[in-house]
Chain A
Amino acid sequence: GAVVSQHPSWVICKSGTSVKIECRSLDFQATTMFWYRQFPKQSLMLMATSNEGSKATYEQGVEKDKFLINHASLTLSTLTVTSAHPEDSSFYICSARTREGGSTEAFFGQGTRLTVV
């Protein structure tokens, strides 16, 4: 299957600082990338959808100014958590969509565990 690389896999930062998470599709061009947040023992919650060269579409309740998404190319999207606070500590996962047989599948990155202290 297609490979999506997410970096870093874990990060610890101080409250008030910003953290950038990268999501790369390694062997395909991703028309759309998605960012999710997952709390322990819960399912994935979609935060935003981004298309290359366009502004991201955020889900209701997700602060645009806090979670900055940049989809600069067909293989790279970044999520920046600005002025992080302890309540932002979570598991963040990206996914990228490829096309197969006219339909689309989404492949996920390995996830990034963010801990804000």
Chain B
Amino acid sequence: QKEVEQDPGPLSVPEGAIVSLNCTYSNSAFQYFMWYRQYSRKGPELLMYTYSSGNKEDGRFTAQVDKSSKYISLFIRDSQPSDSATYLCAMRAGNMLTFGGGTRLMVKP
């Protein structure tokens, strides 16, 4: 079993929809939780960074962490075609950053 599980998708939604991306993990030592967006042939771009359980909002993006369930989510409101990318969750325990496999999102106009 992988330490971090993420549905690879692809997830296809119409423009304006609310998108929900999720990751589950098994390592209780993970303390920091991140979401990255990666466009094709580009490096990952940090979107959200959270430490504690609960919600963190930044514009159209909301990151949610539930440590008791070992479950994190990224919500995208009013999705745009420019949001089409691969979204990677990542988690840190100490010096080690572990990535999920990434979910490919396609937002159709």
Contacts and interface: CB of A to CB of B under 8 A. Distances in A.
Contacts of B100: 43
B36 A108 contact: yes
A107 B47 CA distance: 10
A42 B96 CA distance: 19
Contacts of A1: 46
Nearest to A51: B95
A93 B52 CA distance: 28
A111 B98 CA distance: 18
Nearest to B92: A104
A109 B43 contact: yes
Contacts, number: 49
Interface residues of A, number: 24
A56 to B, nearest CB: 13
A32 B95 contact: yes
A110 interface: yes
Contacts of B36: 108
B46 A110 contact: no
Interface in A65-117: 91, 93, 95, 103-111, 113
Contact of A49 (B34, B41, B46, B95): B95
Contact of B42 (A49, A106, A107, A111): A111
B88 A44 contact: yes
B1 to A, nearest CB: 16
Interface string A26-37: 000000101000
Interface of B: 8, 32, 34, 36, 41-46, 49, 51, 88, 92, 95-97, 99-102, 104
Top 7 nearest A-B pairs (CB, nearest first) are: A108-B43, A111-B43, A43-B101, A108-B44, A110-B43, A43-B99, A93-B43
23 contacts: A1-B46, A4-B43, A42-B102, A43-B99, A43-B100, A43-B101, A43-B102, A44-B44, A46-B96, A46-B97, A49-B95, A91-B41, A93-B43, A95-B43, A95-B44, A105-B49, A106-B34, A106-B46, A106-B97, A108-B43, A110-B42, A111-B41, A111-B43
